[in-house]
Amino acid sequence: MSTFRSRTRKTRNATSKRRGGGGMAFFSDEIRFKSVPVKTSGIPLLFIDAKYPNPRGDEGAWDDAAPYYLFKQGTAVIKVRGEFKGMRTDCMPGTIKAPDDEYPAGDPRCYYSRDEYKNTLWSELDNDDRIGIGYKHAINVLDLRPHHEVAKTDRDGKVIKKQNGDPVMHRVPYEKGGEFDGEPVVSGRRGYSVFGPRHIEHTMNLELQVEDFCRSCREGLIIREAFTCPNCDEIMIDLTQAGLNEEEAEKIYQNGMKCPHCKKPGQYPEEVLGCRVPDDEGDPSDDVCCGEPSRASLFDVVWYVRKTGAGTDTALDAYRKGKPIPWVWLEDYDVSDGEALIERDFGITETETGHKPDYVWHPEIAKMLAPYDFSKVRNIGVPGLKNWQLADFLGIELTDDLESYNDKDSSDNGAGSSGGGKSSRRSSRRGPSGPGSRY
């Protein structure tokens, strides 16, 4: 079964393409990480596997699908006399990929050519030193800490209600001695996190800590037995006989080679894996193979994730104070009262790409495993700000030149706000040329 490692470079591994189908997400569903001291344990987190089409197609990027949703974000920050006063962010549709079968014309993430790159107000203003533009990545997560389910309130402390009068409920982490201490506790909170390029790389690199463990038997270590050609399926190198060390084998795996059978150059090999469980007496020659070798992935363990550092120098990692490793197998994490996250006895299914565990999740957790459809989420797949709102925030006027990037034009190519409606030109509410006095 392919893991992150085998999907980080160009391969022909077939990966089913599907968008997340788990319904809508809201701003309050975002799980953010505050920086903590370096000796502080992370929070128990489950990354939920998903497959979102990768629109970039960059060298080294995912070819078929990624576990995160890639989008482009505009950020506006204003300061007064050097002091931070406010920030607005929104997704930028129309800036990632030309229309094709996967992203037809009208998909909010399409652009037609680099010549038509500037097709939003954000990109038109990218020479303003208050505007920043960059890639962001939304990934599905499950916060496994105990939570309270409580009524959501607005900034004035009033309970937010649905149309039928029922309160809108949300989950907040349990805190000893906190506001809701003594109230019933529920298991976990479904959500998502948004990371920039550096933090998503930190997240994906967590898998390097588990990929050499066998997720089928949970006891053995994975070894490579051979490389096969993705073009002709013949064995390119028998690693049990070739005498290559791990570094030499990894170089071939990452860079590819010419197949000695079909003679096709530049073939990125597929791994034939084995699993070795050391015997009790430590004799390597007596190591036992579990017979169902499969690399552990980012999604097969619970991570204790945290963020450290300050300002722009922050890092995302996993750490458990007093423990040698910052993760536990799914079956070793108790949701509540000794009930495991998954049933401890699970079967193994053999697929075209390897062996896959058949997890049976705790019933409360199983309800929260569907990935979000980020293409429909405000500020991620659907713009949340209208142009006049951005102009008001920056204290600028929507001139005739900027009016060509109005909300109506944006919505026609799939880039408009989900609210729709008539485009507004707010020049009558023009602020000063610079940070608006209201901010």
282 or 84: which carries more pLDDT confidence? 84
> Tell me, what DSSP letter sits at residue 120?
S
pLDDT band at 402 (very low <50, low <70, confident <90, very high): low
pLDDT band at 388 (very low <50, low <70, confident <90, very high): confident
> Tell me, what DSSP letter sits at residue 374?
G
For residue 20, the number of C-alpha atoms closer than 13 Å in the C-beta half-sphere is 30
Least confident window among 72-81, 201-210, 227-236, 397-406: 397-406
Q: Each residue of 134-171: pLDDT tens digit?
A: 889 999 999 999 888 888 888 788 888 888 989 888 88
Question: Are the beta carbons of 82 and 391 closer than 8 angstroms?
Answer: no
Q: What is the mean pLDDT of residues 217-243?
A: 93
Return d(Cα 378, Cα 138) in angstroms, integer: 12
Which amino acid, residue 90? D
**Predicted local confidence at residue 404, as pLDDT:** 60
Q: What is the mean pLDDT of residues 178-193?
A: 86
Question: Are the beta carbons of 85 and 439 closer than 8 angstroms?
Answer: yes
**Predicted local confidence at residue 227, as pLDDT:** 95
Which amino acid, residue 343? E
| Residues 138, 144, 149, 154, CA torsion sign | negative
Write the CA distances from 283 to 214, 244, 278, 288, integer angstroms. 19, 22, 7, 10
**Predicted local confidence at residue 91, as pLDDT:** 87
- Interacting residues of 345 by C-beta distance below 8 A, sequence separation 6+: none
pLDDT higher than threshold 50 for residue 2: no
Q: What's CA 214's distance to the chain center, in Å?
A: 24
pLDDT over 70 percentage in the chain: 74
Return d(Cα 354, Cα 29) in angstroms, integer: 34
| Residue at token pair 């602020």 | 431
Q: What is the pTM of this model?
A: 0.79
pLDDT higher than threshold 70 for residue 394: yes
| Highest mean predicted confidence (pLDDT) among 5-9, 259-263, 352-356, 404-408 | 259-263
pLDDT band at 117 (very low <50, low <70, confident <90, very high): very low
Return d(Cα 411, Cα 415) in angstroms, integer: 5
Domain residue ranges in the chain: 4-210+298-375, 221-286
> Tell me, what DSSP letter sits at residue 64?
S
**Predicted local confidence at residue 375, as pLDDT:** 84
254 or 422: which carries more pLDDT confidence? 254
Q: Each residue of 192-227: pLDDT tens digit?
A: 999 999 999 999 999 999 999 999 999 999 999 999
| Residues 296, 300, 302, 304, CA torsion sign | positive
DSSP-derived 3-state class of residue 383:
coil
pLDDT higher than threshold 60 for residue 96: no
**Predicted local confidence at residue 423, as pLDDT:** 34
Write the CA distances from 72 to 69, 89, 381, 390, integer angstroms. 10, 10, 9, 16
Closest CA to 56 of 48, 66, 46: 66
Question: Are the beta carbons of 369 and 299 closer than 8 angstroms?
Answer: no
Q: Each residue of 293-339: pLDDT tens digit?
A: 999 999 999 999 999 999 889 999 999 999 999 999 999 999 987 89
Look over the chain and give the mean of its residue pLDDT values, rounded to a whole number: 78
> Tell me, what DSSP letter sits at residue 331?
G
> Tell me, what DSSP letter sits at residue 21?
-
Least confident window among 94-108, 147-161, 242-256: 94-108
pLDDT higher than threshold 80 for residue 172: yes
Write the CA distances from 295 to 64, 219, 399, integer angstroms. 20, 12, 57
**Predicted local confidence at residue 174, as pLDDT:** 82
Question: Are the beta carbons of 273 and 222 closer than 8 angstroms?
Answer: yes
Q: Each residue of 35-58: pLDDT tens digit?
A: 999 999 999 999 999 988 765 544
Q: Each residue of 337-363: pLDDT tens digit?
A: 789 999 999 999 998 878 999 999 999
**Predicted local confidence at residue 98, as pLDDT:** 52
Q: What is the mean pLDDT of residues 269-298?
A: 80
pLDDT higher than threshold 60 for residue 284: no
Is residue 222 classed exposed, middle or buried when 0-12, 13-18 and 19+ CB atoms within 10 A define those classes? buried
